[in-house]
Structure formats: structure tokens, C-alpha cells
Amino acid sequence: MSSRYDILFEPVRIGPVTSPNRFYQVPHCNGMGHRFPRSLARMRGIKAEGGWGVVCTEEVEIHPSSDITPYNQGRLWDDSDIANLQMMTDAVHEHGSLAGIELVYQGLSGKNYYSRLPTFAPTNASVLGGYPMQARAMSKTDIKQFRKWHKDAAIRSKKAGFDIIYTYAGHGLSVLMHFLSRRFNDRSDEYGGCLENRARLLKEVLIDTKEAVGDTCAVALRIAVDELLGQKGIEANGEGSDIIEMLADLPDLWDVNVSGWENDSQTSRFSKEGFQEQYTKHVKKLTNKPVVGVGRFTSPDAMVSQIKRGVLDLIGAARPSIADPFLPNKIKNNQTDNIRECIGCNICVSSDNYAAPIRCTQNPTMGEEWRRDWHPEIIQPKHAEESVLIVGSGPSGLECGLSLAKRGYNVVIAEKQSLAGGRVLKESKLPGLSEWKRVMDYRLNQLQQMPNVEIYFESEVTLENIEEFGFDNIILATGSKWKNNGQSRYTRIHLSHDNSIRILTPDDIMDGVIPSGNVLIFDAENNYMAGVISELCSDQGCSVSYLTPESKASAWTENTLEQERIQSRLMQKNVPLFLNRQLVKAQDGHVHHQCVYSGEQQEIKCDTLILVTEREPEDQIFTTLENNNNFKHFSLIGDAFTPGLIAQAIHSGHLEARVFGEKNPDKFWFNRDK
């Protein structure tokens, strides 16, 4: 280990317990929770194995009146839930790390879809999130009952083996945060009004928790010091600081961030490493207790800087620990070039929003540790002395080649272009997506160090020459291309158009074609692509308009917590938004579009129409030879098999490498929670 990183491996005292180092996996959702406890325990245990000194849960419900259904979060309603959570603490303790639990009562954020109980909150108000129901203003009796529920959950947490017990007042997802907030707390009793009154319940719960478990367990407070709402909310230089001063030495640990979740977990398109420092750098000056904070840290030098400059005591991470569970050990073992750096795409977040087990673009084993018995750093050896030709060096081809090489196979990658990376290389050049290049850089760096790998550029494999390469095992990772015919999830009818309007696709734009004049971008994919192309064209001086059948720009990106920022960015660039509109035809220099509800038609002057709709697999070689070839192994992976997210392409390549040569490939699927 380089001596300049020694400080990261110093132990840190947290109340009655000690973290073996400064690497702290803060609580984060994972789509497993109480429904998949073995998967959860295995995933957290691997992080401890990877060197994280503290490994925490996700939100853990303390009572049925705040159930978070349909999300797969933790549950600690009664003693029957202890056993599931103890699986995690056992897995974490096995590697000498501390286990933390984040107890939560969501208040206005809870709907109780499962329990069907009334929601409790500081005041009578509509619950957040659009569901047509209201919360009940907590009476003094209700507050007393809530305190008992929280205390009981803390005691159960101790029985389950947790070392750090959280009191949660962050992300706008906690009743304790709602009591603190002037926006949600309009009470006139001793729990409302001035900040001291609004902080009363938080203080009482902290004291309750310390009295219940503080002899052997540390008590942490996770709190948002700024809601990024200006004077409408808590501000770092206002009430955020006042709360810390008021409670300075009561918790054993301060876990500080910004609220809400879309601010705390911003994508790399809108924020860079360490972006939260401006809001949290003052906290250590207000308390003598250790402070942990986040900032999507992947650089060990940035981590050291945070410690030495007195910003943090512990380096908090959620997404970087997902992308590389072994990040701490790689720093310790002078393997920093081998870190799988988080690209900040928030595909991990989208999984939670779908109530599905977590996934990661960079780490295809995330969420598969128990179900498929996949380890992020260990893969089974080859089954025989064989060589494999992989056609294409996009994300799936690079991942498949790297994983096969790690198994010990001789791998040759043939790429028709002069550079590797495929769609990742192209997309990383679009506005805000530069960090996505890490997907390619990590894998190329690994492959170039391996003696059993050869990469040939400007080597196109065609139907005519595929047999000339002399390989018995061929895997096609030939990618996909964007359609230019107008087909999308909304229509299978080809777009009617004439030559008066230039029709382009994202491929054309990424290949350097520069549109001019009046540009209309039609978004029927609803992810990031149409938004970034709109930005690019606007920056190039085009008069850009954006049209979509959805009611929001880049509608699916609500799942990656960036939809509002994308739409705001387009509005800032004066890009007109035509929402709830479907394409009809493109003729005579105009695009005709209609309302998806009424069918009412309008037209807009257009020189160039950019279609962001669907992609077509580049699978011609496979479909032609699938049933008529002499190869021992012949398969199709990634976007060439099914176009999708980059994360899906990476997973497809990894899965292919894992099952290659196995007699029973299904064995990697059936190891699931029972």
C-alpha cells in the first residue's frame, strides 16, 4: 500500500465500537430487503470481505404503520424478523467489519399499501407521492407510541447483532425529518414552531436509543443538512447547522448528506465526485463526534484529501461500493488501476424504483451473489484448453472477453473499428456522459495486462470470412443500430415522410453529422438519449424542439432520479417541449403531430427530424448461420441479442462467460432465496 493512503486504513472509534478503517458503506437500497434475506446477506458480506470497515443495511421498517410496500426494504416489526437480519450481521462480522442498521418510520412518505394502517405524520396532510390519502397528525399518545416502536426496534437490532443503530432524519423520507421541516410541521404545541420544538422528537428518539442500546452499540444520526430549497427548507448555513449545534455530541456518529434522494444521489451528468462537500464541510467544526459523508468517491486521493482537510472522518459510499465491493482492498493492495469506478448512471437506483434486486452497469455480479453464486473477484476456471473469438469490442464483448480470460481461456477480440468501446465510446462523448467511458477504460486496461488476450482492430468479421479465422468457439457481440423508420413502443407503422426533411438517428449524431436549421427531436425511448442530443444540437446553434408521447421529457429517467434536471436543462436552453404528442408524418418541410388523447393535429416547421425510438440488433451473421455452421460454440450476446441498457449488455457478456463450456448452465440460476 502506498504510504499516502495509510490514513484511510486507520481505525475510527464510534462510541463503544471501532471501525477497522475509514471505509464506510452507508445505508443504501438494494431491492432485496425482507423478501430476499439470503441475497441481502451475501451481498453485504461480500462488501465486508472487500474491506469496507462498516457495512449498513437499507431502510428498515420499524412498524406496520410505516410499511414501504412495494419496495423491498428491510423489516423489523417484531422479534420474528430478527433471524433474517442476523444473516447479514453474521456475514459482515465474518470479515471483521461493523454492521449498521438504518431504522426508519416514513411518515408522510409512507402509504402502507400492505398493512392498510393509517399513516402518522406531524400534521394532517396529504401523503407524498400522489397517492390519494392523508396522514394523521400525531397526538401526544401517538408520539409516545412511536418512541416505543423505535426503542423496541433498536433493542431488536442489538439482538440481531448490529453494532451501529441509526436514527434516520434524511432524504425527506422520515417522520423525524418531517417534524424538523417547517414545510411539513405546522404544529402549535411543544413539537412545532421554533426549531428547538421541531427538533424535540429527534432528540427524544436519540436519547431513547442511547439508553436502550448505547452500552454496546453506537448510535448514528443520518440527517440532511441542506434540502437545496433555499429558505423554503433546511439550509446548511442556517437550520442545518443549528440542528448540529443543538445535538452536537448526542449521537456517536453524524452521517450527513443533502435531501431529497434525487439531490443526494445525483448522476454524473449533473454532478462530479465530492459534490456534497460544499454543504457538509462545516459539520466537523460543530461536533466532536466522527462524521461520515458521501460524494460518489472513487479516487483514493480525493478520499485522503477529505480526511486531511478535516471534511470527513469516514469516507461514505453507496454507489462506489456497489460498482466495486473490493475498492478498499484494492487501494490497500496497490491495485488502484483495478478499481471498477462508479459511472454515476443510477441504474442501481432504478432497480429499487422497480422493487427489483439491485444491478450495476460496472459490476454485473451485483445482486447475483446469492442467486447465481457470483463473486465480483472470483470466477470458476476454464473447463478445457480452448480459444474463443469474440466479434465486437463494445460493452458486452469487452466484459465477455475479460471474464473468459480470467477463467483461463485464450481470447481473441476482433473489432472492425480502429478503437474499442462500441456504443460506450460514442455515448461518452455526449454532453455530461464522459464518466461513462470508465466502462470501456476499466475493461481495456484489464485485458491489455493479460497474456492470453489479443485484440485486433480494423478487423471486420463477415459472413464471407468468418470461417477463415479458424476458431471453433465464436461469440458475436456486434451491437445494434438506431432505427430510422419511426417504429417505437407507440406504433409499429413506419413514418410517412418525403425528402423535404432530413431524417437522422442518434447514430448519425454520434458519428459526427451536424444538423442545421430547425431540428425536431422525437423521443419515444424516454431515457437519456433524446435529452443529451437536444443539448448537443442546441449548443451547436440549432433551433431545437423536443416532442414525445409522454407527459414529461425523458420520462423514464424518473427512475434514475434525473428527470426534473433533464427537463429543467432543456427549458434553460429554450428548447420548446411538445408533450403528449405523437408523430403523424413528415412532409413539405413540416412535421405533423397529434395529441395522444384527442387526436388533434398540429404541424411544426422542420429541416431535420432526429428519431430516438428503437434499435435494431446487428445479428445478420448469427441469424444466417445459426442452424448451418460447423462451430463448436456459436452465440450472440449484448445489444446484438437484445438492445437495452449498457448494464444489460455488460450482464449479458458476463453471463455468457460464466456459462461457457458448462454442462449445466442453468445451475447459475436456481440458487435463489427459498
The total of other beta-carbon atoms located within 10 Å of residue 559's CB is 17
Q: In whole angstroms, give the CA distance from residue 158 to residue 10.
A: 26
Residue 171 annotated in active site? yes
Q: Which of 24, 29, 67, 606 is labelled catalytic?
A: 29
Q: How deeply is 596 buried, as exposed, middle or buried, from its count of CB atoms within 10 A (0-12, 13-18, 19+)?
A: middle
Percent of residues in the chain assigned helix, strand, coil, to nearest 5? 35, 20, 45
Q: Which of 81, 163, 208, 264 is labelled catalytic?
A: 264
| Maximal C-alpha separation, the chain | 83
Give, in degrees to the nearest 5, the angle at Cα 452 between 448 and 454.
55
| Selection from 230, 225, 237, 323 nearest residue 273 by Cα | 323
Distances, alpha carbon 230 to alpha carbons 44, 172, 235, 275, in Å: 36, 15, 6, 17
Q: Which of 168, 191, 442, 546 is labelled catalytic?
A: 168
Contact criterion met (CB below 8 Å) for 406 and 653:
no
665: Cα separation from own chain's centroid = 28
Buried/exposed 328-354: b ≥16 CB within 10 Å, e otherwise: bbbbbeeebebbbbbbbbbbbbbbbee
Contact criterion met (CB below 8 Å) for 32 and 363:
no
Residue 29 annotated in active site? yes
Q: Which of 171, 178, 593, 654 is labelled catalytic?
A: 171
Bond preceding residue 193 cis, omega within 30 of 0: no
Residue 5 annotated in active site? no
Half-sphere CA count of 359, side-chain side, radius 13 A: 19
21: Cα separation from own chain's centroid = 25
Grid cell at residue 312: 470527513
Amino acid 155 reads I
Phi, psi dihedrals of residue 609, rounded to the nearest 5°: -110, 120
Distances, alpha carbon 342 to alpha carbons 401, 418, 583, 652, in Å: 21, 26, 37, 19
Residues marked active site are found at 29, 168, 171, 264
